[in-house]
Amino acid sequence: MTKNIAVLPGDGIGPEIIAEAIKVLNKVAEKFGHEFKFTYVDIGGCSIDKYGVPITEDGMEKCKNAHSVLLGAVGGPKWDGCDPSIRPEKALLKVRKELGLFANLRPTKLFPQLADASPLKESVMGEGIDLLIVRELTGGVYFGDRDTSEKNGELVATDIMSYSQHEIERIGRVAFETARKRGKKLASVDKANVLDTSRLWRKIMHELKEEYSDVEYSDILVDNTAMQLIKNPTQFDVLVTENMFGDILSDEASMLTGSIGMMPSASLSEGTLGMYEPIHGSAPDIAGQNIANSLGTILSAAMMLRYSFNMADEADAIEGAVNSVLDKGYRTADIMQDGCVRLGCKEMGDAVSDCI
> Which of 61, 116, 196, 285 is the binder for ligand NAD (CB under 6 A)?
285
223 noted as active-site residue: yes
Question: How far apart (Å, rounded) are the C-alpha atoms in residues 340 and 41?
Answer: 37
3-state helix, strand, coil in the chain (%, to 5): 50, 20, 30
Alpha helices in 139-261, H assignment, sequence order: 165-181, 196-211, 222-231, 243-254
Q: Are 123 and 234 in contact (CB under 8 A)?
A: no
Residue (10 or 140) nearer to ligand NAD, CB: 10
Nearest by Cα to 214 from 171, 179, 175 = 179
Residue 306 within binding range of ligand NAD, rule CB under 6 A: no
In the shown chain, the binding pattern of residues 2 to 41 toward ligand NAD, with x for contact by CB under 6 A and - for none, equals -----------x---x------------------------
- In the residue annotation, 64 being an active-site residue is answered as no
Cβ distance 297 to 14 under 8 Å?
A: no
Residue 100 CB, nearest approach to ligand NAD (Å): 18
Contacting ligand NAD within 246-275 (CB under 6 A): 260-261
Among residues 211, 282, 276, which one has the least CA distance to residue 70?
Answer: 276
Nearest alpha carbon to residue 301 among 13, 36, 33: 36
Q: Which is nearer to ligand NAD, 113 or 282 (CB)?
A: 282
- Minimum Å gap between C-beta 266 and ligand NAD is 13
Strands 146-151 and 154-159: antiparallel
| 283: contact with ligand NAD by CB under 6 A | yes
Our CB check for ligand NAD shows the closer of 188 and 297 to be 297
Mark whether 327 is an active-site residue: no
Q: Is 286 in the site for ligand NAD (CB under 6 A)?
A: yes
Residues facing 6 on adjacent strands: 39, 69
- Of 191, 219, 346, 350, the active-site residue reads 191
User: 190 catalytic, yes or no?
Assistant: no
Beta bridge partners of 276: 70, 266
Select which of 49, 196, 223, 285 is catalytic: 223
Q: Which residues bind ligand NAD (CB under 6 A)?
A: 13, 17, 73-76, 89, 92, 260-261, 277, 280-286, 292-293, 296, 334
Return the active site residues: 142, 191, 223, 247, 251
